[in-house]
Amino acid sequence: MVRSAGAISLGQGALLGIGAYAIAIGSAEFGLPYWVSLVSAVGLSSLAGLVLAHLSIRLQGDYLVISTLSFQLVLYEIALNFTGLTNGPMGIVGVPRPELLGMSFESESWLLGFALVVAIAALAVASTVQRSPFGSVLVAVREQPTIATATGYSVRSIKAQVCALGGVFAGMGGAVIAGATRFVDPSVMALGESLLILSIIVLAGNRVIIGTLFGVAIVVIAPELLRFVGFSAPAVGYARGITYGLLLTLAARGSLFSARFTGWH
C-alpha cells in the first residue's frame, strides 16, 4: 500500500496477526495440517486487506492514517478479549511447525530455510508485479489518479487489489512467525508491528529487493546485533524504538529516498 498506492497504512500489523492466529487456531486448536491452515491464513489476511481497503479507500491524508490505525486497534482488542477463540492475553501455545514429505522443520536451520524461501518468493512476486504492466498502472494510479481514471482504469478497484495482495504477504509472514515461535498472543498484532513494517518500507524506497533487504538490515538485524556487544534486551528495544521514530520523522518530512506518501484519491 505504501509503495505502490502511495498511502501510509498502520493496519499491516493486524493483517500479519490474522495470519499468525489463523495458523495457531487451525493447527493447534482444530488439528488441521499446517499447509491447510496456511491457505486459510493467506485467504483470511487477503480478505481482511479488502475490508481495510473498503473502509479507507475514500479517505486521504490524516483521515486515512486514523482509519487504518483504528482497524489495527480494533483487531488487537478482539485478539485480547475474545478469549473463547484466541485465549486472550495468555495466547495459543503449541503451534506445530510445518512438515513437508513427512519431514518436520523442527531444527532451527530447516526453519530458517523455510523462512528464507517464503521471503525470497514474496520479493520475487513483488518485483514481478512492479515490472509488469499492472505495475505501470500502479505508478499511474499513485502519481496521476485522475488521468488513470480518464484512461479507463478503476482506481478504487486497483487499490483494493493492492490491499488484498498486501494481505497475502502479511498472512504468509504471520504463518512463518507462528510456526517459528510456536506461540501466538495479541502482541503479534500490536501497533509496534505496523510501525516496524512501515519503517522497513520507508527505508526501502522504490527499490523492491535491495531496498527491502536494506530496511530489514537496519530495522531488524542491526538492533539484534547489539545483543552481541553487551547490550541488554531492554537496550535493544530502546534502540529499535529510536530507529522507528527517526525513520517516521524522515518519512513525514519527505526527505528519505524522495518517497511520496499521499492518500487514496
Q: Does residue 48 lie in a domain region?
A: yes
Q: Which helix (H) or strand (E) holds 235?
A: helix 233-253
Highest mean pLDDT out of 66-70, 145-149, 229-233? 66-70
Does 80 fall in a domain?
Answer: yes
Domain annotation covers residue 262: no
- 97 part of a folded domain: yes
Q: What is the three-state SS of 19-64? A: HHHHHHHHHHHCCCCHHHHHHHHHHHHHHHHHHHHHHHCCCCHHHH
Task: Find, among 84, 96, 86, the residue nearest to 21 by Cα.
Answer: 86
Measure the CA–CA gap between 229 and 61, rounded to whole angstroms: 41
**Tens digit of pLDDT for each residue in 83-96?**
888 898 999 998 88
CA dist 236 to 43, 113, 191, 240, 242, Å? 34, 25, 18, 6, 10
- pLDDT value of position 209: 67
Tally of structural domains, the chain:
1
Please give the grid coordinates belonging to residue 84. 473463547
pLDDT in tens, 156-165: 888 888 888 8
Report the predicted TM-score, pTM, of the whole model to 2 decimal places. Answer: 0.79
**Residue found by looking up cell 485480547 in the block:** 80
- Residue 175 vs residue 107, higher pLDDT: 175
In a domain, residue 134? The reply is yes
**What range defines the domain where residue 133 resides?**
2-189
Q: pLDDT-based confidence at 260, cuts 50/70/90?
A: very low
**Residue 145 CB neighbour total at 10 angstroms:** 20
What tens digit of pLDDT does each residue of 115-154 get? 888 888 888 888 888 788 888 888 787 777 788 788 888 8
Is 238 within the bounds of a domain?
no
The answer to whether position 252 is within a domain reads no
SS3 153: coil
Cα distances from 191 to residues 16, 83, 177, 222, 236, in angstroms, run: 11, 20, 16, 21, 18
Chain segment 194-215, per-residue pLDDT in tens = 888 877 777 776 666 677 777 7
